[in-house]
């Protein structure tokens, strides 16, 4: 796995941190889950069109 630096506005970072804590994940794990979900949604949308 490669490292990727991401700069976020404070409000967005705080929101991700809260989501991660409520899902018992690290911020990295939460971001990965969010990206995977968005990818799956996009792929389903592409299948439907």
Residue 41 belongs to domain spanning: 10-48
Domain count of the chain? 1
Q: In 1-49, which residue ranges form alpha helices assigned H by DSSP?
A: 10-22, 27-48
Q: Which residues of the chain have pLDDT under 70?
A: none
Exposure string of 10-43, with b = 16+ CB inside 10 Å and e = fewer, is eeeeeebeeebeeeeeeeeebbeeeeeeeeeeee
CB 38 within 8 A of CB 27: no
Does some domain include residue 5?
A: no
Does some domain include residue 3?
A: no
pLDDT recorded at residue 12: 98
Does some domain include residue 32?
A: yes
pLDDT recorded at residue 1: 87
pLDDT recorded at residue 34: 98
Please state the pTM of the whole predicted model: 0.86
């Amino acid at each position: 796995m490669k490292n990727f630096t991401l700069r976020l506005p404070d409000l967005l970072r705080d929101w991700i941190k809260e989501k991660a804590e409520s899902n018992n994940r690290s911020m990295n794990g939460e971001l990965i889950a969010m990206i995977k979900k968005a990818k799956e949604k996009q792929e389903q949308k592409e299948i439907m069109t």
